[in-house]
Structure 1
């Protein structure tokens, strides 16, 4: 009976996840790698995340989860999302280092959580 209950819980959880993401509203097909080739798109996405400009649909969905991902050490992140976070932060740090600092300051004002999330996503 316990095994059946556990299976039902797992199936219910997976059913709520679109494409395997714990966050069903995130487009898992978005290629963060493409932002490296398109600095204008990267800047536009960063401006969305930093509340400097309106957000398009895809960045808006990611934005709604950024703080939660950082605070909870990416506990709800699957492998693809961890890869996307790692890729985004790497490109941001390399391409727009001042914006990277602003991003860190906005989402981790105390400077106590961001290093942890970067360490968690590094292997992905």
Structure 2
């Protein structure tokens, strides 16, 4: 009886685990590299999340969840979103440190999460200039 109850409980928990526990995967097929390597597109996305410019639908979605994703280590991200997040962070640190600082100034003014992401970038061989 105990075993049947445990199996039933597991089924109920699995049924209650909703896909909404993750961010929408609607934009998971966006070519992150194309955005990062196109200065105009990159600046448009940065301006969007910094409240300094218009947002595309993808930009609005990013802006809506960015703070939470930073604070939780992308806990609700799909696999593609998590990969894209780390690709973006490392690209910004390596190629556009000024934009990285603008973003971290807004979304992590105390530097609580910035160090974690920069340490990960260093572990992946990215040299970060001392300030």
Over aligned residue pairs, what C-alpha RMSD do you find? 2.5
Give, in angstroms, the shift of residue 33 of structure 1: 0.9
1:99 and 2:99 matched? yes
Q: Identify the structure with bigger relative contact order (alpha carbons < 8 Å, sequence gap 6+).
A: 1
Report the secondary structure of 2:8's partner residue: helix
Given candidates 20, 26, 36, the residue that maps to 1:16 is: 20
Give the match for residue 48 of structure 1: 48
Q: Tell whether the 8 Å contact from 1:36 to 1:95 is kept in structure 2 after alignment.
A: no
Give the match for residue 4 of structure 1: 8
Q: Tell whether the 8 Å contact from 2:89 to 2:117 is kept in structure 1 after alignment.
A: no
Distance 1:99 1:80 in 2: 22
Report the secondary structure of 2:115's partner residue: helix
Distance 1:16 1:113 in 2: 25
Query: Runs of 5+ in structure 1 lacking a partner?
Result: none
Give, in angstroms, the shift of residue 69 of structure 1: 1.1
Give the match for residue 62 of structure 2: 62
Q: Give the total of aligned pairs.
A: 118
Give, in angstroms, the shift of residue 45 of structure 1: 0.4
User: TM-score when scaled to structure 1?
Assistant: 0.78
Equivalences for residues 77-116 of structure 1 within 5 A? 77-116=77-116
User: TM-score when scaled to structure 2?
Assistant: 0.75
Query: Runs of 5+ in structure 2 lacking a partner?
Result: 125-131
Give, in angstroms, the shift of residue 93 of structure 1: 2.6
Bigger CA drift: 25-34 or 60-69? Answer: 25-34
